[in-house]
Amino acid sequence: MPTYNKYHQTSLSLYGLSKQTFPQAEYEVILVDDASSDNTPNIFKEADVPFKFKYIRMKQNKGRSSVRNIGINHAEGNLLIFLDGEMLAPPAFIENHYKHHVHESNLVVTGAMHYEGVYTFIMPDYNEDQVAHLKELVSRDPEYRRLYENYEQTQQHSNVPCPLVTKEDINTNRFQRLSFPNRYFLNSGLKHFGERLEGFTLPYIAFLSGNVSVRKANLKKSGLFDETFVGYGAEDWELGYRLYKNGVQFVLDPSTVAYHQEHGISKRKVKEQWGNHYRFVKKHPNIDVLILSLEWKELPFMHMHQTLVEYKELKKRFPDEYNELTHAFRVMLFRIIEYLNNGQPVTKLYELPPGSEERIKIHQQLETLRPRGFDYLASSFEQIYYL
């Protein structure tokens, strides 16, 4: 469990892990504190937990990849569950992860595709959308509504988080009244491929390190998190991609869901995300990574999958007939992320002089895609070529 300046949420997360149905003598929890400046160091003194608990504090902030690797290297077990410090795990969480790995040794299991968020505290750095969302949720429960109204009257201008959810609320599952689903990945296409993502060309995007399990042996084979990824985003997809290339099977299991305790959103998040995505495509400039650039166009993952299927089929059936078009497509996909990383407008991704031989060939090749059944590829190409 990595954590950074989330003392209140992490304390509740540890309480949730103390209520697991899995035998408490058979699991350990490793909390790696990435040089928090809040009260997180007190957790080790305050924690009254029935499991083996290791608290590791960094002297200076190292970033997500580094602290997860430290946790991996300190882990005694053969099965690792990555769980962010603000994730609240239901009682059967560990048991439901574990059961998948008992008879199969080459799995990644995730509950992150069935995302559930929950407001356990009123945080002073919530943005306007989060405040409006929280108000809507508390309006459904008289006690939570009373707590929120009291906060507005007495603490609204305080910098101190105000608790909404108690340990007793966790025991009784009452906290779920402040929870909400987000099925972005499933609704974007993944639900059509089943629990094991059969036939899906981008299964590695299911490796979201906030809630995912994998055997340590698989990580030793594929390598740990790449520590050149600093800040938010893509470090988990990059490791997931290496696991995928090594033949690991990805499993989506809603019974392994954990609740993400909502917190303020850093303004640096978007910039860090594009910076790390750029690092990802530079490290793996392959079409099955580059295709994720289409997410910037808000195209669903199903569209990306179909585009990738058609791209590979095109290269197979017509190995030399579409060289100009496929080259331009790969270059444009890379430049989308490059431009976003540099803060440039994403436009004119593949400019060619009017009447140039390459331009003419690309247009001729594009005109033949749809008649040959490559509709998704044609659509994706046009959406970024004519920016």
DSSP H helices in the chain: 7-17, 43-46, 64-74, 93-101, 128-138, 142-154, 167-172, 184-187, 216-222, 235-245, 269-283, 287-290, 301-317, 323-342, 357-369, 375-385
> How far is it, in rounded angstroms, from Cα 119 to Cα 142?
16
Q: Is the pLDDT of residue 26 over 90?
A: yes
Q: Which amino acid is at 297?
A: K
| Residue 118 pLDDT | 98
What number is the average pLDDT over the span 61-78?
96
> How far is it, in rounded angstroms, from Cα 292 to Cα 274?
12
> How far is it, in rounded angstroms, from Cα 53 to Cα 114?
28
Q: What DSSP character marks residue 53?
A: E
User: Structure pTM?
Assistant: 0.95
Do the beta carbons of residue 17 and residue 31 sit within 8 Å?
no
| Residue 48 pLDDT | 84
Residue 228 pLDDT class (50, 70, 90 cuts): very high
Phi, psi dihedrals of residue 95, rounded to the nearest 5°: -60, -40
Can you give the residue ranges of every domain in the chain? 2-118+181-282, 121-164, 285-385
Residue with tokens 């390459």: 358
Q: What DSSP character marks residue 36?
A: -
| Residue 68 pLDDT | 97
| Residue 156 pLDDT | 74
Region of poorest pLDDT, from 99-103, 158-162, 257-261 = 158-162
Region of poorest pLDDT, from 159-168, 276-285, 287-296, 378-387 = 159-168
> How far is it, in rounded angstroms, from Cα 331 to Cα 335?
6
> How far is it, in rounded angstroms, from Cα 82 to Cα 211?
5
What number is the average pLDDT over the span 45-69?
93
Q: Tens digit of pLDDT for each residue in 87-129?
A: 999 999 999 999 999 999 999 999 999 999 999 999 999 999 9
| Residue 45 pLDDT | 85
| Residue 44 pLDDT | 85
> How far is it, in rounded angstroms, from Cα 316 to Cα 337?
27
| Residue 373 pLDDT | 98
- Minimal CA–CA distance to 362: which of 332, 308, 326? 326
Dmax over CA atoms of the chain, in Å, equals 74
Rg (CA), the chain: 23
Q: Which two tokens stand for residue 212?
A: 């995912």
| Residue 233 pLDDT | 82
Q: Which two tokens stand for residue 153?
A: 């009257």
Q: Is the pLDDT of residue 217 over 90?
A: yes
Q: Tens digit of pLDDT for each residue in 318-367?
A: 999 999 999 999 999 999 999 999 999 999 999 999 999 999 999 999 99
What number is the average pLDDT over the span 43-71?
93
Residue 131 pLDDT class (50, 70, 90 cuts): very high
What's the fold here for domain 2-118+181-282? Answer: Spore Coat Polysaccharide Biosynthesis Protein SpsA; Chain A (3.90.550)
